[in-house]
Amino acid sequence: MAENTRRDFIKRGALGTAAMLVYPPSRVLGANDRVRVGMIGVGGRGQELLKQVVGTPNAQLVAIADIYTRSRDEAKRMAPGIQTLDDHRRLLDMKDIDAVIVASPLHIHSRHFLDTLAAGKDLYSEKTMTWSVAEADQCLAAAKNSNRVVQIGLQHESSGSLADARKWIKDGIVGKVTQVESWMSRNSPHGKGQWVRQVPPDCTAQNVNWKAFLNGRPDREFDPFKFINWRLYWEFSGGNVTENMVHQIAWIMTALDLPEPSAAFMSGGVFSEKDGRQVPDTIVVTLEYPADTVVTWQSTFSNSHYGLGERLLGSDGTIEHISGATDMVTGRSAEGIRYYPESVNRHNGTALTGETPNQNHMANWIECVRSRKTPNASVEIGYRSAIAAHMANMSYRRKQRVTLEMAKTLQPES
Ligand SMILES: NC(=O)c1ccc[n+]([C@@H]2O[C@H](COP(=O)([O-])OP(=O)(O)OC[C@H]3O[C@@H](n4cnc5c(N)ncnc54)[C@H](O)[C@@H]3O)[C@@H](O)[C@H]2O)c1
């Protein structure tokens, strides 16, 4: 990590700690009051969330803040009644906003997270909760010291498949699970890199607040490609581990009630997408957990045959959760969860198919803002899944097995 980045990081840390001390009271919502929502960062994912919140009963989108003219214009077209702002701090100053959705790039999550809580608003923050372990510690502490409702954008925490898996485990028909396999696979058409987005002609230094995007990273000339394709670079991203593994690992950790991993190892490389990106396209992660469990996650961007899924291998039964050859993000696949008994320990056991419907993750958040209950993807699972992802990336970048203790003390690398 460059020295000025480290200084900025420490400074941001200090700001975060200061922010934790002040929590203005929230508005008490009456039975007929709508939750008034603001959004920070309304790009690809933000626009999907915008549609969701606009379609949620008892919620009203009031304003959005984004540093790129195109994102502001597109949001305004989608929800003409809203106010559009170019600075998230102005949005957080608005007294008529109760709750805020953050869908900015990964390296800015913790700033938007801490600022939102300090402004006394409830929060929906996209995954991965933070870019680094230290930021995850700060955000968890801030959330715990506040009485704010926090939902993380890990929508599979609201899935019926997770409810089914938890029920089977609780019913005792799975037995002791010592091993979990999980995988996620995609393919890219020849000549087109996975995740690569074209830079729109209006993506210029005039139309983008580049300094706000850099968020304390070393200053440099505007780079439209990096601004649009931040996912490909460590400075702003955690690669596929923070983009996709985090969804599956959160699902597995919730199903099995796992704490943070005790150690992580990750290998792989940039093997298929040779376009100058830094984050690997081919990945094998091993996560060790304290209670005799090891979890693996594999991913590739050059073969989609096996889609994605998780297999929980228990002494008394197997849980297999499979999505077709698409991904967790779009959800466009025939998803299914099944239980298969292990005949050596459950002679008369029968196979089961999960049937619990998914809950609406956005509606769950809005309901919790009203009821003050804990949402399905709490800050704790946001934290534990973020730590797992960061440990994996640290291992890959240092080419060594990383324990939880090491992860807590090592400096993040930009
Ligand atoms: N839960 C999911 O399934 C899911 C799916 C896709 C993306 N995501 C997450 O959503 C987040 C955004 O991803 P994306 O694909 O929408 O990225 P994006 O680049 O398309 O959008 C990011 C938006 O944030 C804006 N922005 C950048 N810096 C800002 C700042 N300082 N203040 C305000 N706005 C700022 C950009 O102008 C842009 O409009 C990421 O964390 C990603 O991992 C989650």
Q: From the CA of 177, how far away is ligand 1's center (Å)?
A: 36
Give 381-412 as a DSSP string.
HHHHHHHHHHHHHHHHHHTS-EEHHHHHHSPP
Q: In terms of pLDDT, which residue wins out, 2 or 156?
A: 156
Going by C-alpha positions, the residue among 382, 377, 385, 381 that lies closest to residue 295 is: 385
The model carries a pTM of 0.93
Question: Is a pLDDT exceeding 70 seen at residue 6?
Answer: no
Q: State residue 58's pLDDT score.
A: 94
Determine contact, residues 100/92, Cβ cutoff 8 Å: yes
pLDDT score for 9? 37
The first and second tokens of residue 164, run together, are 């089914």
Please state, in angstroms and rounded to a whole number, the distance separating the CA atoms of residues 296 and 286.
5
Which atom of ligand 1 sits closest to the CA of residue 65? Answer: 33
Confidence of residue 193 (pLDDT cuts 50, 70, 90): very high
- Whether residue 7 has pLDDT greater than 50: no
Query: For residue 20, what pLDDT is reported?
Result: 43
Q: Report the percentage of the chain scoring pLDDT > 90.
A: 86
Within 103-240, strands assigned E span 122-125, 150-152, 177-185
- Give the C-alpha separation, 353 to 292, whole Å: 27
Q: For residue 379, give the amino acid letter.
A: V
Which positions ≥6 away from 171 have C-beta within 8 Å? none
Q: Is 68 in the pocket of ligand 1 (CB under 6 A)?
A: yes
pLDDT at 217 over 50: yes
Quote the pLDDT of residue 14: 36
Nearest to 273 by CA among 286, 265, 282: 282
Which of 39, 45, 84, 91 maximizes ligand 1 atoms within 8 Å of its Cβ, making it the mutation to test the pocket?
45
pLDDT digits (tens, 9 = 90+) for 25-74: 567 777 778 999 999 999 999 999 999 999 999 999 999 999 999 999 99
Give me the pLDDT at residue 30, please.
Answer: 75
| pLDDT of the residue at 152 | 99
What distance in Å separates the CA atoms of residue 278 and residue 237, rounded to the nearest whole number?
10
Q: Is 152 in the pocket of ligand 1 (CB under 6 A)?
A: no
Q: Beta partners for 152?
A: 125
Compute the CA torsion angle 278, 214, 196, 361 (nearest 10 deg).
110
Strand pairing category for 177-185 and 293-300: parallel
Mean pLDDT within 401-408: 97
**275, 225 contact by CB (below 8 A):** no
Q: Give the model's pLDDT for residue 10.
A: 35
What is the pLDDT at residue 24? 57
Q: What are phi and psi of 308, to 5 degrees?
A: -145, 155
- Per-residue model confidence as pLDDT tens digits over 137-166: 999 999 999 999 999 999 999 999 999 999
- Averaged pLDDT, 209-233: 98
Place 330 in a pLDDT band, splitting at 50, 70 and 90: low
Count Cα atoms within 13 angstroms, Cβ side, for 342.
17
| In the predicted structure, residue 284 carries a pLDDT above the cut 80 | yes
Is 113 near ligand 1, meaning CB less than 6 Å away?
A: no
